[in-house]
Amino acid sequence: MAADLPETMTAMGFDDPGGPEVFRAETQPVPQPGENQVLVRVAHAGVNRPDVIQRQGFYPPPPGASPIPGLEVAGTVVATGTGAPPEMLGRRVCALVSGGGYAEYCLAHAAHCLRVPDTMALDVAAAIPETLFTVWHNVFERGWARDGESLLVHGGTSGIGTMAIQLAKAFEMQVVATAGSEEKCQAIRDLGADLAVNYKTQDFVEEVKSFTGGKGVDVVLDMVSGDYVARNIECLAEDGRHVTIAVLGGLKAQINMATVMRKRLVLTGSTLRPRSDEFKALLADEIYNHAWPLFEEGAIAPVMDRSFPLAEAGAAHAHMEAGDHIGKIVLEVGGE
């Protein structure tokens, strides 16, 4: 059930947490697919904020996951394990993985793969899974977003932000997004956001209130946390939902619970990486049925920022940490 494979591969790892410079190329055995797994020859791997946090030493991989960073890949299935559909052999796929993406070969659960159409480049495909799975689950499942509602997205030009804007607009929502420069605000508008707010020069709370006629938005997708939470709550309409997916601005928030009760708000959040294989398989199935056709048709495509060779994973992380990127950063591992 496997093509002719080498015994070893190149991967990007590090001995101790630290800055982007800790990355080094290392030789490792090519992993063998286990039950319900496939082995992907990686063409491209996405770079995400959790990879940076892992490299810094604050986001260890869950038990059983590869210590190699990388949560999304695209490439070709070159081996299948027991229980994985044998027809997947030779298929172009992109996949959400729990680690191991910064390598020439990566294991993926067969049910966490999405088939890549011939019309889609593999670097584009590699930029999709982590943000698509995260946004779909948090905005549409945990946040219960519906057609005609409104969404506030922080970090509108990040990979998550650009995905959230496009998905929300595809499902006929109004979108307010924040960014830190006029260039980034224009990029947000170009994606279809109804209002772009420069958080360095404008008060997003006042801008949201003005835009919604005082009603507020129905859903907030928050990647900042900290003191943003209380301000986000001010932005929410009655019966609004606040969904936290990262804590870049601090782990703790002080909020007025009377406001939560008065507005009947829901405060929730999630992390995707440690969820069970079964959960991710169900999520992938829902995405395949309801969102993936938008990508196959070209109605939605990830915003691409820059591509770096695998050996320059450290430079890719430095670029992300600088905060100047708009959209997704990917690593070129094996090309098309």
Q: Which of 216, 243, 269 is the last residue of a domain?
A: 269
Q: Does 210 lie in the same domain as 140?
A: yes
* Whole-number Å distance between alpha carbons of 104 and 102: 7
Full domain range(s) for residue 107: 8-128+273-332
Per-residue model confidence as pLDDT tens digits over 126-135: 999 999 999 9
**Mean pLDDT throughout 297-313?**
97
Residue 216 maps to which CATH number?
Answer: 3.40.50.720
Q: Does 167 lie in the same domain as 280?
A: no
- Exposure string for 233-256, b = 16+ CB within 10 A, e = fewer: bebbbeebbbbbbbbeeeeebebe
Contact (Cβ atoms closer than 8 angstroms) between residue 103 and residue 12: yes
Q: How is residue 30 written in tokens?
A: 């090519």
Side-chain half-sphere exposure of 148, counting CA atoms within 13 A: 0
Q: Which of 250, 269, 288 is the last residue of a domain?
A: 269
Contact (Cβ atoms closer than 8 angstroms) between residue 9 and residue 103: yes
Contact (Cβ atoms closer than 8 angstroms) between residue 42 and residue 73: yes
Q: Does 305 lie in the same domain as 220?
A: no
Q: Which residues contact 174 (CB under 8 A, 6 or more apart)?
A: 149, 150, 151, 194, 217
Q: Does 196 lie in the same domain as 161?
A: yes
Q: Between 31 and 336, where is the model more confident?
A: 31
Per-residue model confidence as pLDDT tens digits over 32-61: 999 999 999 999 999 999 999 999 999 999
List the one residue out of 10, 1, 25, 44 whose CA is nearest residue 307.
44
